Every structure is written in structure tokens, then in C-alpha cells.
Amino acid sequence: MRRGQASALFYCLLSHSSHSIRCLENRYDTIHLSKKYDNSRCWRLSDRVFTYASDTFIKREVRPNERWLNLWGEPITAPWSAERLQNEAATLQFISEHTTIPVPKVMSFEKIWGSYQLVVERIDGIRLNALEDDEEALKIATKFITTSVLPQLRELKSPTIGSLMGIVILPPRAKPFLPHKEKSWPAKTSFEPEYSFCHNDLSLDNILIDPYTREVKAIIDWEYSGFYPPGFEAPLWTMRPARQEYYALGAPEIQCLVDFLSDPDAVSFQSHN
């Protein structure tokens, strides 16, 4: 699939709507306004609200009236919130059509009351990070990632760097290397298809496994995915985020990429290096 086809797919998903989903959305808003979140069904971060329904998982942007405030009473906004969710919706469909990597099926993607909402099928599994010190589970997941996930992603090539939405949004681990806060760049196109598809946040939290068999059920959270240099996919699943070394993984590649993106005359990442 070419980038233009992916964009067309995104707008097709955006135009799809569901009455049942809207009913659920109304219920979630009521839960939020009453501040009675049920932690087993619904929870939130500064820029996202997550909800489990009987057979779906819903991930949406927070609305302006739901934003948390900082110490100065100003609304807290996350960079590129809408673009990241748009990218995930398009990527899930893209990956399901071009690989055998298990990902949640997209049920709908639409804009409701000014915020984007992604609805996917619910996957019965637990995050790998929940199984502390389970070496067998980590061994199985590592083998699956290195022998199935990464080889398939590397086969997806493009001459244009960046997300399927046409912009470059680097993952959180790149923040210390950014020249400016909340930095993003327009996509660059080289002469050859030198970029491979990367998940860019392939951590223990984003690998769902069967708690009994330890088999991988799905790879989730593709908000920062896109076409990048092959070495940019850091092995984040090999350690927990609490360890300081986690944020140093892939540091040289990040610095090289930031330098390349910041150079207005650089066209090819390979020639830049």
C-alpha cells in the first residue's frame, strides 16, 4: 500500500460511524463528569481516555473541558494528540493488510464532540509488563518479535520518512534530543526506498500475551509508528521503563535522525551519515 492509499483509508475510517458507539460515548462522558471512573473499565491519562466494553476497546482524546490543569491553572495539552491517534487508526489497518502481525481490528474511527475516537476489537490478554520476573514469557515474546514482527516490518519500505499521516513525530524517548519542545518535521523523500516501517514504542506495555500459554496475542499502541531508518526500532521490550538504561536505548540513532531532520539540505539519511 502506498502512502496515498493509506491516507484514503484513514478518511474512509473517519467517515464510518456507529450509533452504539455514540451511546457508549455518552455514558463515558457521564462517568467523567461525575468523576466516578471504574478503574476496571475506564481510566485516563493527560491526553487519553481508555474504556473497555464487552467486546471492544475504546481510545479517545480528552475534550477541552476534560483537560487537567497545571499549577498555574492552565490546561495541560499533549503534543500532536490528534495526529498520533489518526496515525494509529491508519497503521492498524495498514499492518493487518500487509503482514501477519497480530493487531486489534479497527471497528470505527471518528470525530465526536471535537475529539477523535478509535474503537478496536477487545483482545483477551494481559500486558507483558504485568508478568514481573516471568522469564519464560519474555523469552517467548522476544523470539516472536525478532523472528516474526521485526522481519515483516522491515519488508515494508518507503522512500519517505515519517508516519502514514505525512509528518514525522518522534517517540517520547527522543525528547532529550529534540532542539525544540514538541518538535515535529514535515516528511522527507529520498531517492531510494531506504526507510522501513517501525513501531517505535515496542515496549513491554505494548505486547499483549495469553496469561496461560504466554503466546503473543497482539502488538498494540502504534501512535508513533512510521517509516524510519531500520536501526531506529530500539529493543524496548528487553527492559522495564523504570530502569535508566531504558531511555538510552537507541540514543545514537536518535541523535543522527534528529540531525538529519534538522538539516534543510539533507535528502537521504544514508548519504547524510
- Per-residue pLDDT of 175-229, as tens digits, reads 888 876 656 788 899 989 999 999 999 999 999 999 999 999 999 999 999 999 9
Based on the fold, state whether residues 113 and 130 are members of the same structural domain.
Answer: no
Q: Which three cell numbers stand for residue 39?
A: 478503574
- Higher-pLDDT residue of 132 and 160 is 160
**CATH for 49:** 3.30.200.20
- Higher-pLDDT residue of 38 and 67 is 67
User: What is the identity of the amino acid at 183?
Assistant: K
**The domain boundary residue, chosen from 92, 121, 150:** 121
Average pLDDT score over residue span 148-161: 97
- Domain count for the chain: 2
Angle between helices 3-15 and 81-98 (to 10 degrees): 110
Based on the fold, state whether residues 99 and 62 are members of the same structural domain.
Answer: yes
Based on the fold, state whether residues 115 and 131 are members of the same structural domain.
Answer: no
> What's the domain range around 177?
126-262
Q: How far is residue 43 CA from its own chain's centroid?
A: 18
Instruction: Give the Cα separation of 118 and 14 in Å (integer).
Output: 9
Beta-sheet strands, E only, within 41-198? 42-44, 48-52, 56-61, 106-112, 115-121, 126-127, 157-158, 167-168, 185-186, 195-198
CA distance to 157, 164, 222, 257, per residue, from 261 (Å): 19, 17, 21, 6
Average pLDDT score over residue span 152-158: 97
